[in-house]
Amino acid sequence: MSTLNVLFPFRTDLGAGCAATALLTGGLFASMPFMASASPGITWSEPREVAAGEAFRGSWRMNDSDFRFVDDPSAAFADDGALGVVWADQAAQDLKFQLFGPDGRARLEEPVNVSNSPDVFSWMPRVGIDGDHVYVLWQEIVFSGGSHGGEAFFARSTDGGESFSEPVNLSETADGVGKGRLTENHWHNGSHDLIIGPDGTVHVAWTAFEGGLHYTRSEDGGETFAEPTRVAGDDELPARGPSLAADGEQVVMAWTVGEDPAADIRGSYSLDIWLYRGDYAE
């Protein structure tokens, strides 16, 4: 059986009950031991099971594949110290969300379905929480006519995760979104990111198998998004693995390059609009 566990750590110098960070483990890694020396001064609680699956993986047959396990967890803290966790239920081909209080108890009676697309695989979610708003970005294996399936989907909750809006396709392209190309025959999924800026702006980035790195944002709590901007990447040097950071008006993005033995790390930053692009490492 595959399981997702959540560990609630407590800083021994702050007293029990002060949640500091969270570590998620999934699939076969859920049963692996943790080294106590890796977290000096922090005592970890016993793992609490978030979800379980049959740990069965059949052959890849696109959306007809027989997968029966849980994985791909992502977590974010709410303002009151609660921890929101979203994960992929491969048997249901959907994403599920649960909210845990600082005491580790689930606040929602049942995990909430975020993606609601049981005929299409939804996986590799990213989650952010801002007040009562919960934002989730993920990769949906939609085939839109290109060589690879993949679109960037988004849903939000305005009631603390008790319900989610109808998912929205942010990318709407045939380029195979969420694919980070390593070579022509090798790539990784989940090549996207979501963060919430200090002003509440929702920032989203993704790459596609065809090479492009795209960015969009919402300034109205996830209700609408700007037209995506192509930041970098092409078929010759495809971008992959984007990571975002935001501080007020300034947005920073880092990514790496595929189809290149040197695997450069590149970065770009913006002061409301994109002003500069350059290599951070060669």
**What is the pLDDT, as a whole number, of residue 25?**
39
Residue 165 has pLDDT above 90, yes or no: yes
CA gap 219, 217 in Å, rounded: 7
242-257 b/e with 16+ CB inside 10 Å = b? bebebeeeebebbbbb
Give this prediction's pTM: 0.84
Give the mean model confidence (pLDDT) for residues 79-107.
95
**What is the pLDDT, as a whole number, of residue 9?**
53
Residue 154 has pLDDT above 70, yes or no: yes
**What is the pLDDT, as a whole number, of residue 259?**
85
Quick one: three-class SS letters along 17-67?
CCECCCEEEEEHHHHCCCCHHHCCCEEECCCEEEEEECCEECCCECECCCE
**What is the pLDDT, as a whole number, of residue 270?**
81
* Burial (0-12, 13-18, 19+ Cβ within 10 Å), 127: buried
Residue 29 has pLDDT above 60, yes or no: no
Q: What does the pLDDT look like over 195-236, one tens digit per residue?
A: 999 999 999 999 999 999 999 999 999 999 999 999 999 998
> Over the chain, what is the mean pLDDT?
84
Residues 6+ apart with CB under 8 A from 197: 203, 246, 247, 248, 251
**What is the pLDDT, as a whole number, of residue 47?**
85
Q: What does the pLDDT look like over 43-77, one tens digit per residue?
A: 888 888 899 999 999 998 989 999 999 999 999 99
Percent of the chain surpassing pLDDT 70: 83
Q: Domains for the chain: give ranges and CATH numbers.
A: 114-281 (2.120.10.10)
